[in-house]
Chain A
Amino acid sequence: METLMSFQKLRIFLTALSATVGASTGIAHAVDVSVLYLERQVQRPPTLSVLDAVPDDLGRAGAELALFENTATARFLGHTYTLDTVVVGVEDDFSDAITKALADGHRLIVANAPADDLLTLADHPNAKDALILNGTAPDDRLRRDACRANLLHTIPSRSMLADAVTQFLVKKRWADWLLISGEGPGDEEYAAALRAAAAKFNAKIVEEKIWRFDADMRRNAAQEVPVFTQGKDYDAVLVADEIGDWARYVLYNTWLPRPVAGSEGITPVAWSPVIEQWGAAQLQKRFADATGRGMQSDDYGVWAGLRAIGEAVTRTKSADPATLRAYMLSQDFELAAFKGRKATFRAWNGQMRQPIPLVHSRAVVAQAPIEGYLHRVSELDTLGQDEAETDCTAF
């Protein structure tokens, strides 16, 4: 509530100013942009550690910040933004909720929802002429065979994340891996992305293990992990543990003195509170001032979705989803994404091209693409499925 209040205050402040500023500029062409923030809540499985509570406004806070930023630009142009929020509870019927939202006329949607729900939304008969920005679902299939023409992605895919950390590890010559994956949601997909990345960049998985311990690792990690990580020699331990359940107990408890990467240790992310270069400090400050917490990847993905709409509206002076989509996929689009390079969209599957920071809890270690990985079009396209390998046919 605190969050919403402070964003609201900012907005009222801006609205009050817009009348005077807009009138005096003389370049006003009224465009009224209505955007839906659609969140599907999910049941989160319990984790061993209770240290990291998932914020209630994860994702939504990114939308609020982007609305503030879009509005700040819009008032100089005579444009306005309205953000409606629909949150569908775990037990609620998702189809009913989107049918109603689409009936209300929403055609610009920034989504914080799992892959299956996104597909339900994208395939809804009334969503044909909509533009949906996926701000949180990293599933590769949404960018591949299950891609949809009306669905663009601002959050990086798992393969982009896996490629990013792999480039770094191979460059460091930590190319022989022990891969440990969990059985939580997304872990197998993450492990698959790491396997594919290893094949792509010539890393080698010398051994794979599945994490099946169900003991409380806060007490037992020191005893269990050394034995568990014994075996063949490896340069690094790669962990696939998307919900942050057990991998934190692997660090410094491995049999061999080796770095940990993936879901813990050196972690590829869309965003993290430790990013401060390239003007990011300003974005972090705006976010922290409004929410009292650090900005996470899901906040960033949603933020980037609404900011991308904002950039496209500003440049095209239109709120028509087809016009905005065409502009976003064109070469003219650019979003200053606070990662040192402009973010653009891949025309073949709607994925936002962006650097991937590799972070630990206190600092940025490196940022992919790592120097030396070349590409004929953009080095950013060394991360994730490239045009030549795509099996997305909707674009």
Chain B
Amino acid sequence: MRFLLPVFLASFAVPAIAAEAWVTNEKDDTVSVIDIETQEVIKTYDTGERPRGITFSRDYSRLYICASDSDTVQVMDPETGKILHDLPSGEDPEQFALHPDDRLLYIANEDDAITTVVDTVERKVVAQIQVGIEPEGMAVSHNGKIAVTTSETTNMAHWIDTESQEIFANTLVDSRPRHAEFTADDKRLWVTSEIGGTITVFTVEDQEEIAKIDFEIKGVRPERVQPVGMRFSPDGKLAIVALGPSNHIAVIDAETFEVKKYILVGRRVWHLAFSPDGSKLFTTNGVSGDVTVVDMDSLQAVKTIKVGRYPWGVAIRP
């Protein structure tokens, strides 16, 4: 009995399903799986070439990965790390967003100036929508009615009616828009502009620009402040934006658009994701090849976790 006891205890110490952060490593062709409790990499799985965008199905039973240079979206079983199948995705898929119906995937095809809509069940392309050059940011509203693609060289947010799969509006933003995000109530859309160095906020109802958010970090050259990925906190009160090669993230009041704090993270921060309870934030730092853990109560970076080369996207599995 004596030698069995430690095993017995250990199984209690680790919750049955620990939350995980899944990180795509762009230049290693892998995903790293981080245990959110222990904040350690527990697994690394191979993917297709140049994995970037990453998201889970609603029930977290499937993981979708944009394997950009393999020109495919891969579907992985997160339990085993096995690639179940590939989805037709159009060329060079960079980012995508899953429709709330858990079925349609909206994919930005960076090299093709196209947004591809894929039915993940039938595994076929249901629509291709011509957008601007270098589409990248992709978002679907929570009510499922609108999809938005941002195109980096055309400098626009393209608003797509998900019923007709047609563009119904185009709004100009500053240079090189990288990411779009709807607020939880679908009333507003935020778009980050990497080279412009700004975030543009639109009202969804009429696609009117209502705010432009600028950033200024003491001791950092303004050209290095390049907004890329962003997320709203689970309570909707804060927006957190990754500021690329400035190596900082900005904490923004989602109502007043005031920047409350800049937090130093790793080098060239790309994307971020919250732990299920919203207490921790995970940022992918491309150049330093690691993930920074930010404590959201104290708004401090608390840990750095080494992952693969050029970590890019991150998705959370509760």
Q: Decide yes or no: A282 and B110 within 8 Å by CB, A72-B132, A379-B221 being known contacts.
A: yes
Are A279 and B196 in contact, CB atoms less than 8 angstroms apart? no
Cα A342 to Cα B168 in complex, Å, equals: 29
Are A336 and B169 in contact, CB atoms less than 8 angstroms apart? no
Are B167 and A24 in contact, CB atoms less than 8 angstroms apart? yes
Q: CB-CB contacts of A53-96 with B at 8 A, as 1s and 0s? A: 00000000000000001001100110000000000000000000
Instruction: List the A residue with the shortest CB-CB distance to B244.
Output: A340
The reply on B279 being an interface residue by CB < 8 A is no
Instruction: List the B residue with the shortest CB-CB distance to A68.
Output: B133
The 4 closest A-B CB pairs, nearest first, are: A336-B175, A76-B170, A341-B223, A73-B154
Q: Give the residue of A72, A282, A286, A379 whose beta carbon is less than 8 angstroms from that of B154.
A: A72
The reply on B130 being an interface residue by CB < 8 A is yes
The reply on B153 being an interface residue by CB < 8 A is yes
The reply on A315 being an interface residue by CB < 8 A is yes
Are B172 and A336 in contact, CB atoms less than 8 angstroms apart? no
B69–chain A nearest beta-carbon distance, Å = 10
In the complex, chain A residues whose CB is within 8 Å of the CB of B130: 17, 21
The reply on A46 being an interface residue by CB < 8 A is no
The reply on B134 being an interface residue by CB < 8 A is yes
Are A76 and B132 in contact, CB atoms less than 8 angstroms apart? yes
CB within 8 Å of A: which B264-287 residues: none
Q: CB-CB contacts of B223-240 with A at 8 A, as 1s and 0s? A: 100000000000000000
The reply on B71 being an interface residue by CB < 8 A is no
In the complex, chain A residues whose CB is within 8 Å of the CB of B168: 24-26
Instruction: Provide 10 A-B residue pairs closer than 8 Å at the C-beta atoms, listed in order of the A residue.
Output: A17-B130, A24-B167, A25-B168, A72-B132, A73-B132, A76-B154, A279-B176, A286-B111, A334-B195, A380-B223
Are A335 and B158 in contact, CB atoms less than 8 angstroms apart? no
Q: Give the residue of A25, A72, A286 whose beta carbon is less than 8 angstroms from that of B169.
A: A25
The reply on B174 being an interface residue by CB < 8 A is yes
Are B195 and A336 in contact, CB atoms less than 8 angstroms apart? yes
Report how many A-B pairs have Cβ atoms within 8 Å: 74
Q: Decide yes or no: A336 and B176 within 8 Å by CB, A21-B130, A72-B154, A314-B155 being known contacts.
A: yes
B221–chain A nearest beta-carbon distance, Å = 7
Q: Decide yes or no: A25 and B196 within 8 Å by CB, A69-B133, A76-B156 being known contacts.
A: no
The reply on A285 being an interface residue by CB < 8 A is yes
Cα A342 to Cα B174 in complex, Å, equals: 10
The reply on A27 being an interface residue by CB < 8 A is yes
In the complex, chain B residues whose CB is within 8 Å of the CB of A76: 132, 154, 156, 158, 167, 170
> Besides A26-B169, A27-B170, A76-B167, 16 other CB < 8 A contacts?
A21-B130, A21-B167, A24-B166, A24-B167, A26-B168, A69-B133, A72-B132, A72-B153, A76-B132, A282-B153, A314-B155, A334-B195, A336-B155, A336-B176, A336-B194, A342-B197
A214–chain B nearest beta-carbon distance, Å = 46
CB within 8 Å of B: which A268-312 residues: 279, 282, 285-286, 311
The reply on B314 being an interface residue by CB < 8 A is no
Interface size of B by Cβ–Cβ distance < 8 Å?
A: 29
Chain A binding surface, main DSSP class: helix
B208–chain A nearest beta-carbon distance, Å = 12
Q: Give the residue of B153, B170, B245 whose beta carbon is less than 8 angstroms from that of A336.
A: B153
In the complex, chain B residues whose CB is within 8 Å of the CB of A335: 175
Interface size of A by Cβ–Cβ distance < 8 Å?
A: 27
Q: Give the residue of A282, A314, A336 whose beta carbon is less than 8 angstroms from that of B111.
A: A282
In the complex, chain B residues whose CB is within 8 Å of the CB of A379: 221, 223
The reply on B291 being an interface residue by CB < 8 A is no
Q: CB-CB contacts of B152-184 with A at 8 A, as 1s and 0s? A: 111110100000001111101011100000000
Are B133 and A72 in contact, CB atoms less than 8 angstroms apart? yes
In the complex, chain B residues whose CB is within 8 Å of the CB of A17: 130
Cα A27 to Cα B130 in complex, Å, equals: 17
The reply on B113 being an interface residue by CB < 8 A is yes
In the complex, chain B residues whose CB is within 8 Å of the CB of A72: 113, 132-133, 153-154
CB within 8 Å of A: which B185-243 residues: 194-197, 221, 223
Instruction: List the B residue with the shortest CB-CB distance to A16.
Output: B130
B171–chain A nearest beta-carbon distance, Å = 8
Cα A27 to Cα B156 in complex, Å, equals: 13
CB within 8 Å of B: which A315-353 residues: 315, 334-336, 340-342
Are B170 and A334 in contact, CB atoms less than 8 angstroms apart? no
Instruction: List the B residue with the shortest CB-CB distance to A379.
Output: B221
In the complex, chain B residues whose CB is within 8 Å of the CB of A380: 223
Q: CB-CB contacts of B133-165 with A at 8 A, as 1s and 0s? A: 110000000000000000011111010000000
Are B156 and A285 in contact, CB atoms less than 8 angstroms apart? no
A274–chain B nearest beta-carbon distance, Å = 17
B293–chain A nearest beta-carbon distance, Å = 27
Cα A334 to Cα B197 in complex, Å, equals: 11
B41–chain A nearest beta-carbon distance, Å = 26
A24–chain B nearest beta-carbon distance, Å = 6
Instruction: List the B residue with the shortest CB-CB distance to A14.
Output: B130
Cα A342 to Cα B152 in complex, Å, equals: 13
CB within 8 Å of B: which A2-28 residues: 17, 21, 24-27
Instruction: List the B residue with the shortest CB-CB distance to A279.
Output: B152
